Amino acid sequence: MTSLFAQEIHLSKRHEEIVSQRLNLLQQMKSKFGDLNKEKASQIQASETAFKRNLNLLKDIEAAEKLIEAQIHPFLPPEVTSLETLYWASVEEYIPKWEQFLLGRAPYPIGVENQNEAENTIRNKAQ
């Protein structure tokens, strides 16, 4: 009987040790989890700060690009702008014909009669 009583006391002490270790481990896990949450929050904040900084840098770069573009290419007179627009419209009109020619699927796109027609079209658009 005394051996059962001694065994019961031993098991009770062992149980207390295990519960104490469990409590200690739970506290460590809670502390570690709190640290991870703080670290994650810190990383999120750093990420948001970096995003805002990058957005501001991008805006600054775009503003600098516009400033440099304005210095390199000052505003052109309306006549020049109009001619440039007509030129690019003409280029876009003839792209499909030239594309077929360059791919070897069609003859030379602008013959003598087509060239006169193109010149008339450009003159009519300019007026």
DSSP state of 23: H
Alpha-carbon distance values, 114 to 38, 48, 104, 117, 118 (Å): 74, 60, 19, 5, 6
Residue 115's pLDDT is 53
- 10-residue block means of pLDDT along the chain (127 residues)? 86 95 94 90 94 96 90 80 91 85 80 55 62
Q: How far apart are CA 77 and CA 123, in angstroms?
A: 19
Domain residue extents for the chain: 1-74, 76-127
* Sign of the CA dihedral running 7, 13, 19, 22: negative
Residue 11's pLDDT is 93
